[in-house]
Amino acid sequence: MKKFLFLLATVLPIVAVAAEQPTADVAQTAPAATPAQDPAERNQMLYSLGFLLGDNLKTQLILDNETDYKALSQGMRDCLLNKKSQTDLEKYKPQIIQKYKDDARTIAEKRAAEQQEYMANFKKEKGVKTLDNGAMIKLSRPGKGSTPKADSTVKVHYTGTLIDGTPFDSSRERGEAFQTRLGDVIPCWTKAVQQMKIGARATVVCPPDTAYGNRPVGRIPANSALVFDIELLEIEK
């Protein structure tokens, strides 16, 4: 069971990325069989999969040196090739579970410190306004006219990133503006967008408790501070 949970924790984020791709219309006919893949292209695909698995793994575990990497990759290689384990797996399961717990705590503490530093530095920038729920907004374009209310429906373009610039969502990339009631979005948005006039563009920084809190959402880890580039296009009457 623990092995199953470990595999889920490692593979599900990769599956989630694939699941974000548009699905086929159910009315369409089944596609033709996929032609045989070129061996070199297959190797590139599998390397990419390995890279993504490694990228996900390093968000959960601290691996300190080349020796760590070699031992981990050898264990994975033996398992995937259906070889017998070189160790007593039952003996090491408690240590593995403890490492996951210890590393998760260390990674979370490091991220929290980095986020606090980022938000403290952003707060010092000229033109930044801190709202009553802790969210911060900095207008890069003032806009004109009225501002929305907490129950208004608005149309916006936005790009969302983590504090290190890693993107997790963008209406601009989708090529379609996002329409929503301000009461139906995260508290950070509800407060921040009310500070904007039509045509305004702003950087909005959301502390974790004004975003998704301790819930991981898609590519967003739990307890993440988020950064949004928001442009208010319309306020629906």
Catalytic (active site) residue 169: yes
Catalytic (active site) residue 62: no
Catalytic (active site) residue 228: yes
Catalytic (active site) residue 186: yes
- Give the whole-angstrom CA distance, residue 127 versus residue 141: 11
Catalytic residue among 186, 198, 209, 229: 186
Catalytic (active site) residue 6: no
Catalytic residue among 169, 220, 230, 235: 169
Angle at CA of residue 23, ends 22 and 27, nearest 5°: 135
- Give the whole-angstrom CA distance, residue 174 versus residue 178: 10
Catalytic residue among 6, 118, 122, 168: 168
Catalytic (active site) residue 4: no
Beta-carbon contacts of residue 181 (< 8 Å; ≥ 6 apart): 151, 152, 153
Catalytic residue among 25, 96, 103, 228: 228
The gap from C-alpha 225 to its chain's centroid, in whole angstroms, comes to 11
Catalytic residue among 137, 158, 220, 235: 158
The catalytic residue positions are: 158, 168-169, 186, 212, 228
